[in-house]
């Protein structure tokens, strides 16, 4: 199965033009741009050309661009640098709960040192309304830090509307524009933003390099966060990585050249994908059609996120959770939007790039639809035609026994028709993992299980537990099943430590078998 890469908001491949531009600076041209000799001066010229290329995409001047190791560093430098320069005493900052982690953590760090912070919530489509920002300002507000485009949702904050209003009020405005650069027009000559962060690897440049725009007039002042040789106007010491910077410059030049065409392609593919996915019942778009062109975020009700991803081994997308075990961490952005944990976990972010085609979008949509229908059927939902999928490759390396029972789950999953005689129905739930497991046992006249079906909303391990139990119960008496030891389940399925809750759910289920006749 061919891989389909739809994770360009996480990172993009390096543009061939950027790759070619970087080559000489990796080997032949190794001078230090800070050195005062021919090699050094040549490297410095290359750095300054790149600085001008980055500035051009943003409508800034070259002297307003500082190179960093990426947007994480740019955001740290902007927020900590500006507030430390001003002094934290009596300082207040306005930001949003939906910012990137590196902004949240920089702000929390300053909060622990006395900064007062207002954390804004997004509206239903993930946007931070301008009115909410203005209403949060106090005479002590030193900075507003807001992202231009949200990296999970694609929602676009009203930064252009806010910039002049914050300038009038003398409040410093920092914007994380990582997901906006190259997708939306940015003109800092006309938009009075004071500090703006960008990254190279989100727009076909190399990883490990970014920039911070620091306005010259009026001048935004920063305390350096990296001390040393005084590079980058004393605000970011460290030998400049010429090859990375040259690659970034070329990627930004290319992004400027292609911006209109890129944005049109992304929007068309995004709309095509949504048109296909929204044909499924019970799907929810996170964000809105007015968002940035390259991002589509969708929640799928009635399935569990890890199982959904396991069903899609060829699809490179991001999910709504950072989950590995019983304690899932659903995306804080989706939670801020009001999605519950289960729905946040069962969300996929598709983000588009230059090489994506309509055929890939159609394949991706078909794979997702098949997987969702299959998992809903495993959970006992009558989905009708179309749930023919079976899991593909075990790319997440589940233990073989688990994978085998997960892959063949369709054989024993589902529900008996209502009113089936001699039916014993059991159900268990694990709220923390947002999982449920159901088992229906049809008992014969001799009191033994003649047929069993299970329903599972859970990760592949939870589904494998259901599938295994359904097979195990055949021919058994309820009393024998009740006595099943969870250790047996663990060993049979090689359940890892961090998935023990799935085995416990199976045990819980069997404990519900009535003891009496
Ligand atoms: C909105 C946003 N801000 C900041 C970053 C961090 O960028 P970098 O990977 O260059 O540190 C990212 C990327 O993960 C992002 O999407």
Give residue limits of the domains in the chain.
16-256, 262-378, 400-511
DSSP 284: E
Task: Give the CA distances from residue 186 to residues 64, 74, 176, 294, in Å, rounded to whole numbers and listed in that order.
Answer: 15, 17, 12, 16
Q: Order across the sheet with 210-214: list the strands.
A: 65-68, 210-214, 195-199, 172-176, 141-147, 92-96, 116-120
Ligand 1 binding pocket, CB closer than 6 Å? 70-72, 100, 102, 147, 151, 176, 178-179, 199, 210
Would you say how long the chain is, in residues? 517
| Residue the block writes with tokens 């970087």 | 22
Per-residue pLDDT of 39-65, as tens digits, reads 999 999 999 999 999 999 999 999 999
Is pTM beyond 0.85? Reply is yes
Centre of ligand 1 to C-alpha 72, Å, is 6
Mean of pLDDT over the chain: 94
Ligand 1, residues 54, 151, 197: which to mutate, most atoms within 8 A of Cβ? 151
Which residue would you say has higher pLDDT here, 56 or 513?
56
pLDDT value for 449: 94
For residue 386, name the pLDDT band (cuts at 50, 70, 90): low
Could you read off the pLDDT of 244-258 as tens digits, one per residue? 999 999 999 999 999
Q: Nearest CA to 257 among 92, 56, 396?
A: 56
* 434 within 8 A of 328, measured Cβ to Cβ: yes
Mapped onto helix, strand or coil, the DSSP state of residue 315 is strand
Would you give the DSSP letter of residue 90? T
Q: Which helix (H) or strand (E) holds 142?
A: strand 141-147
The confidence score (pLDDT) of residue 385 equals 62
pLDDT classification of 323: cutoffs 50, 70, 90:
very low
Q: Which of 72, 159, 244 is the pocket-test mutation for ligand 1 (most atoms within 8 Å of CB)?
A: 72
User: If you take atom 4 of ligand 1, which residue's CA is the nearest one?
Assistant: 71
Q: What is the C-alpha separation between 478 and 299, in angstroms, rounded?
A: 39
Distance 199 CA to ligand 1 centre (A): 7
Higher pLDDT, residue 311 or 325 = 311
Q: Inform me whether the pLDDT recorded for 68 exceeds 50.
A: yes
User: Residue 322 pLDDT more than 70?
Assistant: no
Helix axes 500-511, 486-493, angle to 10 degrees: 140
pLDDT at site 383: 75
Report percent pLDDT > 90 for the chain: 84
For the chain, what is the largest distance between any 2 Cα atoms, rounded to a whole number of angstroms? 95
Q: Tell which CATH architecture fits domain 16-256.
A: 3-Layer(aba) Sandwich (3.40)
Tally of CB atoms within 10 A around 120: 21
Q: What ligand 1 atom has the least distance to the C-alpha of 199?
A: 10
Atom of ligand 1 nearest to the CA of 210: 10
Q: Ligand 1 centroid to 242 CA: how many Å?
A: 21
pLDDT band at 328 (very low <50, low <70, confident <90, very high): low
C-alpha dist (Å) from residue 266 to 280, 308, 351 = 22, 24, 9
Q: Domain 262-378: give its CATH code.
A: 3.90.1150.10
What would the mean pLDDT of 64-92 be, rounded to a whole number? 97
**DSSP per position, 442-508:** EE-TTSSEEEEEEEEES-HHHHHHHHHHHHHHTT--HHHHHT--HHHHHHHHT--GGGHHHHHHHHH
How does pLDDT run across 343-385, given as a tens digit for each residue? 998 999 999 999 999 999 999 999 999 999 999 999 998 776 6
Count the neighbouring beta carbons within 10 Å of the beta carbon of residue 190: 10
Nearest CA to ligand 1 atom 14: 10
C-alpha separations of 489 from 158, 399, 424, 485, 502 in Å:
54, 13, 21, 7, 10
| pLDDT surpasses 80 at 325 | no
**How high is the pLDDT of residue 488?**
87
Task: Read off the pLDDT of each residue in 66-95 and give the average, rounded to a whole number.
Answer: 97
Is CATH 3.30.1490.20 the classification given to domain 400-511? Answer: no
In which band, very low, low, confident or very high, does the pLDDT at 327 lie, cut at 50, 70 and 90? very low
Span 24-44, average pLDDT: 97
- The pLDDT of residue 517: 57
Residue with tokens 């801020």: 336
Q: Does 323 qualify as catalytic in the annotation?
A: yes
Average pLDDT over residues 436-455: 94
Contacts of residue 310, Cβ cutoff 8 Å, sequence gap at least 6: 391, 395, 396, 398, 406, 459, 460
- How many Å apart are CA 504 and CA 485, to the nearest integer? 10
Find all residues with CB under 8 Å of 395, minimum gap 6, and list them: 310, 313
pLDDT value at position 483? 84
pLDDT at 324: 37
Q: Which residues contact 302 (CB under 8 A, 6 or more apart)?
A: 282, 346, 372, 375, 376, 379, 381, 457
Q: State the residue for tokens 């019970």.
A: 282
Distance 491 CA to ligand 1 centre (A): 42
Judged against a pLDDT cut of 50, whether residue 313 lies above it is answered with yes
Q: Each residue of 130-184: pLDDT tens digit?
A: 999 999 999 999 999 999 999 999 999 999 999 999 999 999 999 999 999 999 9
Rounded Cα distance between 150 and 98, Å, is 7
Cα(120)–Cα(309) distance, rounded to whole angstroms? 31
Which strands make up the sheet holding 435-443, listed edge to edge? 423-430, 435-443, 449-457
């Amino acid at each position: 199965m061919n891989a389909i890469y739809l994770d360009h908001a996480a990172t993009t491949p390096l543009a061939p033009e950027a790759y070619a531009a970087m080559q000489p600076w990796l080997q032949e041209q190794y001078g230090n741009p800070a050195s005062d000799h021919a090699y050094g001066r040549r490297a410095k010229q290359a750095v300054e050309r790149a600085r001008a290329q980055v500035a051009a995409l943003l409508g800034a001047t070259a002297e307003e661009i500082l190179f960093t190791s990426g947007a994480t560093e740019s955001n740290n430098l902007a927020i900590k640098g500006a507030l430390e320069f001003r002094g934290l005493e009596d300082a207040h900052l306005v930001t949003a709960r939906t910012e990137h982690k590196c902004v949240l953590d920089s702000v929390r760090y300053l909060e622990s040192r006395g900064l007062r912070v207002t954390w804004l919530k997004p509206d239903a489509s993930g946007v931070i309304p301008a009115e909410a920002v203005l209403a949060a300002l106090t005479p002590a507000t030193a900075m507003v830090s807001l992202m231009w485009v949200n990296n999970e949702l694609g929602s676009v904050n009203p930064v252009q509307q806010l910039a002049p209003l914050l300038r009038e009020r003398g409040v410093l405005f920092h914007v994380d524009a990582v997901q906006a650069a190259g997708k939306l027009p940015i003109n800092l000559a006309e938009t009075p933003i004071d500090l703006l962060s960008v990254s190279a690897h989100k727009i076909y440049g190399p990883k490990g390099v970014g920039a911070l725009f620091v306005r010259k007039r009026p001048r935004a002042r920063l305390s350096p966060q990296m001390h040393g040789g005084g590079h980058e106007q004393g605000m970011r010491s460290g030998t400049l990585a010429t090859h990375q910077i040259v690659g970034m410059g070329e990627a930004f030049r290319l992004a400027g050249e292609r911006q209109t065409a890129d944005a049109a392609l992304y929007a068309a593919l995004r709309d095509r994908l949504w048109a296909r996915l929204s044909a499924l019942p019970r799907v929810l778009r996170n964000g809105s059609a007015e968002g940035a062109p390259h991002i589509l975020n969708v929640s799928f009700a009635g399935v569990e996120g890890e199982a959904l991803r396991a069903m899609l081994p060829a699809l490179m997308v991001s999910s709504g959770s950072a989950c590995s075990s019983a304690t899932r961490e659903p995306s804080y952005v989706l939670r801020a939007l009001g999605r519950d944990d289960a729905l946040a976990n069962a969300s996929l972010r598709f983000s588009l790039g230059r090489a994506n085609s309509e055929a890939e979008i159609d394949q991706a949509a078909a794979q997702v639809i098949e997987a969702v229908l299959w998992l809903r059927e495993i959970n006992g939902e009558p989905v009708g035609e179309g749930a023919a999928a079976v899991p593909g490759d075990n790319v997440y390396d589940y233990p073989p026994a688990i994978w085998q029972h997960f892959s063949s789950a369709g054989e024993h999953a589902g529900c008996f028709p209502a009113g089936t005689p001699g039916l014993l129905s059991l159900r268990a739930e694990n709220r923390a993992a947002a999982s449920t497991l159901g088992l229906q046992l049809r008992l014969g006249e001799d009191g033994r299980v003649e047929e069993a079906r299970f329903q599972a909303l859970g990760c592949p391990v939870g589904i494998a537990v259901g599938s295994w139990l359904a097979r195990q119960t055949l021919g058994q008496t309820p009393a024998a099943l009740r006595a099943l030891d969870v250790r047996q389940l663990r060993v049979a399925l090689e359940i890892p430590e961090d998935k023990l809750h799935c085995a416990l759910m199976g045990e819980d289920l069997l404990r519900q078998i009535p003891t009496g006749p």
